[in-house]
Amino acid sequence: MGEHIMTSTTDSGAISLTPELKSKKGVSPIWILPLIAIIIAAWLVYRSIVNAGIDVTITFKNAQGIEAGKTQVIYRGMPIGLVKKLEINKDFQSVDVLVQFVKEAKDQLKKDTAFWKVAPEISTRGITGLETLLKGNYITMMPGEGEETDHFEALSEPPPFRSDTPGLHIRAFTEDLGALKAGSGIYYKGIKVGEIIQTLLNDKTDVVLDLFIQEKYSDLVKKTTKFFNISGIAFEGGLSGFSLKAESLESLLLGGISFLTPEHESKTQNAKDDDTFRLYKDRNRAEQEGQKFTVYFNDGKGLTDKTQIKYRGVEVGRAFSVELDEKTDGVRLQVTMQQQYRQFLRDDTQFWVVRPELGLAETRNLDTLFSGAYLTFRPGKGKPGRTFKGLSNPPGEVATRDGLHVVLVSERLGSLKSGDPVYFRQVKVGEVTDCRLSEDATSTLIGVDIQKKYAPIVRTTSKFWKASGLNVDFSLFTGAKIKTESMAALLEGGIAFATPGSPDVEEKKEAKSKGVVVDGSKNSEKKKVEPKIGTQVLGSPVKNGATFELYSEPQEEWLKWRPKIALGKGN
C-alpha cells in the first residue's frame, strides 16, 4: 500500500478539511440493542397493564396486623390480593385498606362478598389461624352475589354460613343455648360431622340452631334422630362409682352437640334439608324421652330437675323440671318416663321420694347421699294416669309385700315407726309397715308384715312385745340385769314375738328356755327356768289381718318358748 500524504495548505480549494470518513450505508447493528430494550420495556408495560390488579377499598373497624405491601388476601389458600395502602377514615372510626386484587378476582368482587381478617386467635372458640403466626395476618373472603363494587365493609369475624358446602342443613330447637355457639361442632361417636352454623332467637323464645352436617355423614341423621348438648363436663357419681365425661376437648371448650337415633327407629327415613329437631339438654334426656307426667309433692327437698325415677333400683325415667306450684301450695315435679315403662303410670300408682336416712342403728339409702334423692313408686292397677300426688313417706307396704300381715294393738306407739324390724329369736323376720290410731283413738294399730317364709311362726297364740329400749332389772341379790333385744333393737326399737310350743310338745311338754335375752352371760339363762303354765300348745296359723296385742315387755315365760315349726317356703 502506497502512502498518500495530504498536507494542509492555506489554499482552501485544494485541501479538504472535512474528515475523510466514509459514510456507511444503512443503520448500524448497534441499534438492535435499544430496539430490544424497547421490546422488553413494551412487554413489561403490556404485562403490567394486562395483569393490572383491581383496586378495592375494604373498610376495617380495626386494621391491627394489616401492613401495606405485606398483608395478602388469601382465598382457598391462594394469594389473590395484596394490601397496598392503609388510610385512617376521615371520622377516625375505621381504616380504609386499599387492596389490589389479581385480575382473575374481578368476578368475585360483588356487593355481598364478605371480607374478614384472619388472625391467630386463642379463645373459647378454639385456636384458629395458627398459620398466621408465621406468615402474619391475612385477609380472606367469601364470594357473594350482587353488583360489582370496589368498596367493602370487612366483617369483624368470619361469617358463619358457608352456603356453598354440600351437606345437610337442618334446624334444631332448644330452650337454652348454654355454651353452644355458632361454630360449635356436631359430633357423632366423637367424630366431628358438622357444626352449628348460626343461632337465632325466634319469636317463641326458643333458640333456633342452624345445623350443618357434612355430606358424607348426612345419612346418619334420621327423621327420628335426637340431638343433645354435650358441652362441658358430665359428672355422674354415686356409691357405685364416679364417671366424668367430656366428649372432646374441643367440645369442652367450644360446646358441641351430638345426636343419637333410637335403635328401634334406626330404619326410618333420612332427614332432609330444613327438617327440624329438638335439642335435648343432655344425652340422658334424649335417650329417655318418653311419657311425661307430673307428681305433686308437699316438700321438694332433695328434688332437682335431674332426679331419677327408679323402680326396683333401675332407672326408668328422669325429672326434667321442679318448680313451686301455687295451686297445691307444693312442688310440681315434671318427669319423663321411658316409653317402655309407661304402663306403670296408673292413676293409683304411688310415688314417693327416697332420701338418705342416717340413723344410729341403721343407715339406709346411703347411695342417695351421692346420687341425690330419687323418686320411686309402687305401680298401681288402675287406669292410665298422668298426674300424681306424691307421698311424703314410703307408703305402707301392705300391697307390695306378699308376707303375712298382722295388726298389733298397743296403748302407745312408743318409739315404733314404719320400717322397724320384727324379730323372732333375734332374727329379723318382718317389718313394721304402718302405724296408725284405731278408729276410736283408744289405741294404736301397728301393721306388721312377716316375711312369707316366717309366716308359719305366727300362731294365734303368739305374743308380741316391744323390743325397744332397755329392760333393767335391779335386785339386791342378783345384781343388775339389763335385758334387751339385739343391739339394733336397743338403738332403733322394734318388735319381738314368741310363739308357745316346745321342740316336741306332745312328748315332753317341756319348755326349753331360750329367750331373746342379752344379759351378758349365757349361764344366767338357766336360772330363769320357770314352771310351765300350760300355754305351750302350738296355736293354729293366722290369716292376714289377724290382730294381736302388743305388750310393752315380754314375760319371762315367753322367752323360753321353743316351738318347732316348719318354716314356709319363700325367700
Partner 1 sequence: MVDRPLTAKDAGFLPCLVCHKLSVIQDDDGVQQRCSRCGAKLHARKPDSIARTWALLLTSFIMLFPAYLLPIMTVTSFGHRYPSTIMEGIEHFIQDGTYFIGFLIFFASILVPVFKLLGITLILLSIQRNWKTSLRQKAVMLRIIRFIGRWSMLDIFVIAIMVALVNLGSLTTIEAAPAATFFAMVVVLTMLAATSFDTRHLWENTL
Q: How many CB atoms lie within 10 A of CB 411?
A: 12
Q: How many CB atoms lie within 10 A of CB 134?
A: 7
- Among residues 308, 332, 310, which one has the least CA distance to residue 318? 308
Helix, strand and coil content of the chain, in percent to the nearest 5, comes to 15, 40, 45
**69 vs 241, which CB is nearer to partner 1?**
69
Pick one of 14, 34, 52, 570: the residue that binds partner 1 (CB under 8 A).
Answer: 34
Nearest approach, Cβ of 52 to partner 1 (angstroms)? 14
Determine if 13 is a binding residue for partner 1 (CB under 8 A): no
544 backbone dihedrals φ, ψ, rounded to 5°: -55, 140
237 binding partner 1? (CB under 8 A): no
Q: Are 423 and 495 in contact (CB under 8 A)?
A: yes
Considering the rule CB under 8 A, would residue 249 count as an interface residue with partner 1?
A: no
- Judged by CB under 8 A, the chain residues 93 through 152 that form the site for partner 1 are 134-136
Among 13, 14, 17, 562, binds partner 1 (CB under 8 A): 17
Which helix or strand (DSSP H or E) is residue 237 part of? strand 233-238
Q: Which is closer to partner 1, CB of 45 or CB of 567?
A: 45
- With CB under 8 A as the contact rule, the residue among 46, 52, 70, 411 that binds partner 1 is 70
Contacts of 348 (CB under 8 A, 6+ apart): 380, 381, 382, 385
> Minimum distance between the CB of residue 102 and partner 1, rounded to whole angstroms?
15
Which residues make beta-bridge pairs with 57? 98, 151
Q: Which CB atom, from 66 or from 271, has the smaller least distance to partner 1?
A: 66
Kindly list the distances between the CA atom of residue 331 and the CA atoms of 306, 322, 378, 395, in Å, as whole numbers in the listed order.
Answer: 15, 7, 20, 19
| CB-CB contact of 220 with 179 (8 Å) | no
CB of 181 to partner 1, least distance (A): 31
How far is it, in rounded angstroms, from Cα 408 to Cα 432? 10
401-405-406 Cα angle (round to 5)? 160
Question: Considering the rule CB under 8 A, would residue 6 count as an interface residue with partner 1?
Answer: yes
Site membership for partner 1, residue 50 (CB under 8 A) = no
Of 5 and 480, CB closest to partner 1: 5
Nearest-approach distance from CB 6 to partner 1, in angstroms: 4
Which cell is 160 given? 358463619
The β-bridge relationship of strands 226-229 and 276-280 is parallel
Decide: is 476 part of the binding site for partner 1 (CB under 8 A).
no
24 binds partner 1 (CB under 8 A): yes
Q: Which amino acid is at 430?
A: G
Which one of the spans 9-17, 139-147, 337-345, 349-357 is the region binding partner 1 (CB under 8 A)? 9-17
Contact between 5 and partner 1 by CB under 8 A: the answer reads yes
Q: Considering beta carbons, is residue 24 or 569 the nearer one to partner 1?
A: 24
At 159 the three-state DSSP class reads coil
Binds partner 1 by CB under 8 A, chosen from 14, 37, 127, 567 = 37
383 binds partner 1 (CB under 8 A): no
Q: Site for partner 1 (CB under 8 A): which residue of 14, 40, 191, 239?
A: 40
Spatial separation of the C-alpha atoms in residues 515 and 508, rounded to whole Å: 19
The verdict on 20 binding partner 1 (CB under 8 A) reads yes
In sequence order, which residues have a C-beta less than 8 Å from that of residue 30 and are 6 or more positions away?
Answer: none
Compute how many residues bind partner 1; rule: CB under 8 A: 32
Measured distance CA(245)–CA(253) in Å, rounded: 14
Under rule CB under 8 A, residue 36 binds partner 1: yes
- C-alpha to C-alpha distance for 97 and 147, rounded to whole angstroms: 20
Give the binding range for partner 1 (CB under 8 A) out of 25-33, 175-183, 348-356, 470-478: 25-33
- Position among 13, 25, 30, 77 found at the interface with partner 1 (CB under 8 A): 30
* Secondary structure letter of residue 509 according to DSSP: -
Smallest gap from residue 195 Cβ to partner 1 (A): 28
Whichever of 12 and 442 has its CB closer to partner 1, that residue is 12
Shortest distance in whole angstroms from residue 211 CB to partner 1: 35
Q: How far is the CB of 32 from partner 1 (least distance, A)?
A: 8
Task: Indicate the pairing of strand 72-75 with strand 138-142.
Answer: parallel
Give the CA distances from residue 530 to residues 461, 462, 509, 527, 558, in Å, rounded to whole numbers and listed in that order.
19, 19, 13, 8, 10
Query: Could you give the CA distance from residue 518 to residue 481 in angstroms, rounded to a whole number?
Result: 9
Provide, rounded to whole angstroms, the least separation between the CB of residue 29 and partner 1.
Answer: 9
Output the smallest distance, CB 67 to partner 1, in A: 10
Among 13, 25, 31, 571, binds partner 1 (CB under 8 A): 31
List residues near partner 1 by CB under 8 A. Answer: 1-8, 10, 12, 17, 19-22, 24, 28, 30-31, 33-34, 36-38, 40-41, 44, 69-70, 134-136
